Amino acid sequence: MNSRLCLWIASISGALTVGLGAFGAHGLKAVLSPYLLDVYETAVQYQMWHTLALFGCGILLRNSFSKGVSYAALLFTIGMLFFSGSLYALVFTGIKWFGPITPLGGFCFIIGWLTLAVSTYRLTEVSK
């Protein structure tokens, strides 16, 4: 994943997250059970945190390309799709089958963070 794509996906995801969060707070509060509303809020929170992580990866890639940072960005993107996406699908469809997909997204998040840790540790300092 290159810097431009990373920053573009993060920007779109950020806009979607704000919209989905507002929709949940104002449009779904009276419609969903407290449990499903909590599931929805979890999806929004994890999407936003990993949108910010993806944005950070994009900035890192802009300054110094690293395959590891690129892989971390890809894992964050896949994690958002699997984790938050499966929770949104569960909330809107009620199909419990989406529940087992969520941990795959969580696994992608964890591996993404570990990949980012190793990659940023290996980055060389830029002299000023």
pLDDT of residue 29: 87
pLDDT of residue 23: 94
Quote the tokens at residue 43.
Answer: 């999806």
pLDDT of residue 127: 46
Query: Nearest Cα to 13, choosing from 46, 59, 62, 60?
Result: 46
pLDDT of residue 126: 57
Q: Angle of helix 102-122 relative to helix 67-79, nearest 10 degrees?
A: 160
Q: Report whether 76 contacts 50 (CB < 8 A).
A: yes
pLDDT, mean of each 10-residue run, the chain (128 residues): 96 97 92 94 98 97 91 98 97 91 97 96 69
Q: What is the residue-wise DSSP string for 45-86?
A: HHHHHHHHHHHHHHHHHHHS--HHHHHHHHHHHHHIIIIIHH
Q: 14-45: per-residue pLDDT in tens?
A: 999 999 999 999 999 889 999 999 999 999 99
Of the CA atoms within 13 Å of residue 96, those in its CB half-sphere come to 0
Q: What is the pTM assigned to this prediction?
A: 0.93
User: How far from 63 is each of 9, 56, 121, CA to CA, in Å?
Assistant: 18, 11, 15
